[in-house]
Chain A
Amino acid sequence: MKKIKQNLPAFPILAYLTILVGIPLLLVVILSFLSRDSLGNIIFEFTLSNYKKMFDPVYLKVFLNSFTLAILTGIITLLIGYPVAYFTASLDRKMRSFVILLIMLPFWISSLLRTYGWSILLGKEGLINNILMFFNIIDKPLNMMYKFGTVLTGTAYMLVPFMILSIYNSVDKLDRSLLEASYDLGGGKWKTFFNITLPLTMPGIAQGYTLVFIPALGLYYISDLLGGGNTMFIGNLINNMATRGRNRPLASAFAIGMILLVVLVLFIYGRVTKNNKESLYQ
């Protein structure tokens, strides 16, 4: 009884989260087992057809596209971001604050603007083509827009700050005396990096990869603006089906599929960072 009284103040926030997150997600689960008539009205009859459709080769391809995009985005942001984080941590205090500000500033810039910036750069009449043609490096404009690579560039660009900040936090915590010990014992630069620095910054890498992977699955406005609908991704598909397609049951089933993918990634993240007590969003 005393416990109930003690926990009473938490009731409003628990209610807020249950009603606005728990129940809507539950509705998605329920709806994913229902179907609809030709007008888009829901028919209350249990069916597995929405999930069966997911294994249709056309839709499997969409899942595969998104999965590939998210995996590659993680790899690219890691390869680009790791050196940035590593070098930033080695700067002196004043410079470091400034560089971190530069890394964080894009969070505050509209993501549509940042996506649109790439279409100005990469378009047929875009900045890069203009410059290359001006210097006579090419004589015909390059076709860089509306490809898988364009979407990948945009997504990696959007998410790279998450990767850098995650890795930076673990590089910053690195015990420098371990590195010195390794050098003293004759471990070379690369050997020290692969045997000490890399394993010790693994939690940061895992965190960064997770924080990049999850949004990379669903940023459909990037694939819309930079991919031009040439490659279908799960986010676009769910969006199309939920709005224009008026097929909410199918959209629900795909949303569940997407959430399961995220759960899988979080599970792997949990296994990788088993010994690390830090939470994902801190």
Chain B
Amino acid sequence: MNLNQKKFRTFYLSLFFIILYVPVLSVVLYSFNKSSSTAYWAGFTLNWYKELFNDRVILEAFNVSIKVALLTALLSAIVGTASAITSVYVTKKTEKTTNGLMFLPLIVPEVALGVSLLIFFSALKLPFGTFTLVISHSLFCVPYVYIMVQLRLKEINISIIEAAKDLGATRGQIIKTIILPLVMPSTLTASLLALAMSLDDVIISTYMAGPTTTTLPVHIFSMMRVGVTPKVNALCTLFLVGTFFLIGINQIIGTKGGKFFEQK
């Protein structure tokens, strides 16, 4: 690449990232604006944050969201990891069937999946709430855990397993003492991803939320529809801080192959 090409490259990438981040930054900026309109800047204030913490509906929705996200992450970690490890032991045909079924929730558009679950749980007469939210969120989180753990399993040196077998280890011992510790970083990363996806989900949650248990994104969405005050900005900003905190934790505890952002 000559100098001109390099200059153009820098220019193009910079422009792209400015456009990518300006919408996010403007939400953050206006959360500190004294005026409730975006028409002008009336000065710095933290009032919207204060109002936020006095809003009981928001706090309640926040509680539900956190609870659902933690349970979803836990459930997805267990189901995803277990089924990925299982896939090593079953026949090729069964593994293929499992892989195919795993992709379904990712391929079917979320609205269609949401409607199908709405119909399903209504037919079962199950009450909508935390339970339906966790189950439905796990559907789009389990596949990610499954894929990430499977990728990790493929990297494991098969001779370690064979050595253990030769030394008389049972299948259970091999899974417990060799495989699980090796895939744990991938499981952790994937369940943090599950946590973030659950916290962010709007579409499926709209159908799965109960009359008294809505999640934060569903509530924010309804707030945005009726007209917004910078309270929404403040809420989004806090959410953003929370997410970055999560990523930070992962970057610190993440070991090899476990970090979100890593060049392979």
Contacts and interface: CB of A to CB of B under 8 A. Distances in A.
A102 B240 contact: no
A248 B119 contact: yes
A258 B111 contact: yes
A217 B118 CA distance: 20
A130 interface: yes
Interface residues of B, number: 85
Given A28-B116, A125-B37, A10 B87 contact: yes
Contacts of A279: 103
Given A14-B101, A23-B120, A238-B111, 12 more contacts: A13-B86, A16-B142, A22-B101, A80-B16, A109-B243, A110-B239, A110-B240, A117-B26, A123-B38, A125-B38, A220-B203, A243-B207
Contacts of A215: 109-110
B79 interface: yes
Provide the main secondary structure of the chain B interface: helix
A151 interface: no
A141 to B, nearest CB: 10
B202 A13 contact: no
19 contacts: A6-B91, A13-B79, A27-B123, A84-B16, A87-B9, A87-B12, A93-B263, A104-B261, A112-B221, A117-B24, A127-B26, A214-B107, A215-B109, A219-B203, A225-B221, A235-B111, A255-B112, A258-B111, A258-B112
Given A16-B79, A215-B110, A243-B206, A9 B90 contact: yes
Nearest to A16: B79
A111 B13 CA distance: 22
What are the nearest 3 A-B pairs in CB distance?
A117-B23, A24-B116, A13-B83
Contacts of A25: 104, 108, 116
Interface stretch (B55-63, B157-165, B183-191, B224-232): B224-232
A218 interface: yes
Contacts, number: 226
Contact of A125 (B39, B82, B262): B39
Interface residues of A, number: 84
A116 B224 contact: yes
A280 interface: yes
A113 B202 contact: no
B3 interface: no
Contacts of A243: 206-207
B70 interface: no
Given A108-B243, A243-B206, A248 B115 contact: yes
